[in-house]
Amino acid sequence: MKTKSVKAQTWSELVIVIGILVFINLIGSAYFLRMDLTSEKRYSLSKASKELAGKLDDVLFVKVYLEGEFPAGFKRLSRSTKEMLDEFAVYSNGYLQYEFIDPFDAGGTAKTNAIVEELSSKGLQPTSVQIKREDELSQKIIVPGAILFYKGREYPLNLLKGQFGANPEEVINSSIELLEYEIANVLRKATQKATTKIAFINDHGTLTRWDIADAKQELEQFYTVEDVPLSMVPPEALNQYAGIIIPKPTETFSEFDKFKIDQYVMNGGKVLWFVETQIADMDSLNKEPYFMTGSYDLNLDDLLFRYGIRINPNLVQDIQCEAIPILSTLKNGTPQQKLLPWLFYPVAAPMDNHPIVKNMDHVWFQFANSIDTTATKSIRKTVLLRSSPYARVLSAPVRVDLNIARINPDPTLFSKGSFPMAVLLEGTFQSVFQYRMGANVNDELPFKTKIDNNKMIVVSDGDIIRNQRKKTTGEIFPLGYNRYTNQQFGNKRFVVNCIDYLCDSSGLIDVRSKEITLRLLNKAKVKQQRVNWQLVNLGLPITLVLCFGLLNHFIRKRKYTR
């Protein structure tokens, strides 16, 4: 009887446990709950990302080219990409699906080259990595990216965000930090209809439509973009735009045109300025080996000073710079060119964790000016881009001589950086016309003296937003791409991030602030203590099992001996 009661009790306990598990599963299927116990919340999506995933109304298929034999860092990137896609899939109502593949699985050099060329044409950037097998090192081409397919369209997604001078671990970590933003940004392209309107000012000698073609095309994926002649529209016409871009003006602004911009700002409009003070262009060196810079008479100094900054009449020279092709020798009567560093082409590294520039590639400047900020306390100034510490400024007028590229710069002369070249202004803005209405503008126009909360960005180089163009064929190169050095810079991402920060109300740009702590092992200690830890890892589990067995044997012996 006692044996039967024990069996019955055992079966009843089993049934109760199974019932509890079924009940918990039923509750879990009705209520969605996910817990992220990481300190940096690396597995938690922002509200903006969840909303974008929820907008999918058709299957979004993601083909990720991160499968195969990789170094440890790329395996971590692959694993993090899968985890992030899983998070997006949860909030996509089942519409987001993905697949990891190795595009080079079939092998063969010819086929590999064809695949690399095909994926490159779609916008993915291949890279070369070292694979270690036993005592041998070999090079392997991989494409750390993905193609997203949605409603008959393809969207490329580069997962590796290269940065100049960063070690591989930091590059991988930066790429992982940006995973949510990059995936959400592609979802934004695929699902969001362009309703917010922005405008390019296309008079006052600004860049032509061919010069800003790539920037405009990129912005049109998120915004309705129009061209506006400032001098031809009434002041209130600007208020329909969330933001305006002023790309490298070269002609004087009248007081009335300044009034239009001023009142646009006072009514909440956002402005992205690409303004420079010096007339300097490489085309001036086509006929002569040097030229002297002139100054643009833009009549904007008082307006910008009122807003908190001053663009100085100088040029920045930086040892950290881009190269230009220069004629070096003649070979068999054919001119031979050589790439030499050009000090007037600073390459600025983002040194701030602000969402606009966090984990962004370097930005390429051409004949940039330095920026000073004023003591206006009501406006907060954030330097987004600055020259390297190895820079200097030359006061206007500046002699720009091509022979400078042939001379090794003296480092002792380049020690007064870093100079601000892009500044974000936020806070309370006051009108420059506050105490002089009636002198140059009509008193009958609607007028506001200040706005309590607004923002704008000032960049002291108009060429940041200008793409290169081959005049003989009309071919337009991507913004930030230098066709002479075959180097891609972060100019396009910088322009889009600026507009997103100024005009996008979804809050997606804030996702760029996400940080993931890089917890790396101390390589010296690993090498020194390797044997000790191997013994611990092998010996400790065996020791614990033996101790548990001996203790269990001792307890059972005492119990049954009694």
162-204 pLDDT per residue, tens: 655 556 677 788 888 888 888 888 888 888 777 889 999 999 9
Single out the residue of 201, 194, 245 nearest to residue 223, CA to CA.
194
pLDDT at 49: 85
Class of domain 197-504: alpha beta
Asked whether the predicted pLDDT for residue 292 surpasses 90, the reply is yes
Q: Is 502 helix (H, G, I), strand (E, B) or coil?
A: helix
pLDDT at 34: 59
Least confident of 8-17, 152-161, 309-318: 8-17
Strands 145-150 and 294-295: unpaired
Least confident of 59-63, 270-274, 315-319, 433-437: 433-437
pLDDT at 270: 96
pLDDT at 167: 66
Gap between the Cα atoms of 21 and 38, Å rounded: 27
Mean pLDDT of all residues belonging to the chain: 84
Does the pTM of the predicted model rise above 0.95? no
Burial of 63 (0-12, 13-18, 19+ CB in 10 A): middle
Q: pLDDT band at residue 431, thresholds of 50, 70 and 90? A: very high
Asked whether the predicted pLDDT for residue 437 surpasses 70, the reply is no
Single out the residue of 263, 181, 262, 245 nearest to residue 498, CA to CA.
245
Inter-residue contact 533 to 391 (CB < 8 Å): no
List the chain domain ranges: 47-190, 197-504, 521-562
pLDDT at 549: 83
pLDDT at 400: 92
Give me the phi and psi of 523, to 5 degrees please: -65, -35
pLDDT in tens, 351-397: 778 889 988 889 999 999 999 999 888 999 999 999 999 999 999 99
Asked whether the predicted pLDDT for residue 97 surpasses 80, the reply is yes
Inter-residue contact 158 to 141 (CB < 8 Å): no
| Neighbour count for residue 549 (Cβ, 10 Å) | 10
Gap between the Cα atoms of 377 and 428, Å rounded: 9
Q: pLDDT band at residue 529, thresholds of 50, 70 and 90? A: confident
Query: What is 405-468 written as a DSSP string?
Result: GGS---GGGS-S---EEEEEEEEEEE-TTTT-TTTSS-TTS----EEEEEEEEEES-GGGGPPP
The CATH number of 47-190 is 3.40.30
Please tell me which residue, 505 or 156, carries the higher pLDDT value.
Answer: 156
CA distances from residue 3 to 12, 13, 15, 472, 556 in whole angstroms, order as listed: 14, 15, 19, 97, 21
pLDDT at 24: 77
Least confident of 41-45, 77-81, 372-376: 41-45
pLDDT at 443: 57
Assigned token pair, 478: 């991507």
**Average pLDDT for residues 407-432, to the nearest whole number?**
91
pLDDT at 68: 77
Single out the residue of 149, 181, 153, 44 nearest to residue 500, CA to CA.
181
Q: At what angle do helices 72-90 and 179-191 cross, to 10 degrees?
A: 40
pLDDT at 14: 79
pLDDT at 253: 95
pLDDT at 226: 94
pLDDT at 330: 61
Asked whether the predicted pLDDT for residue 559 surpasses 60, the reply is yes
pLDDT at 3: 57
pLDDT at 319: 93
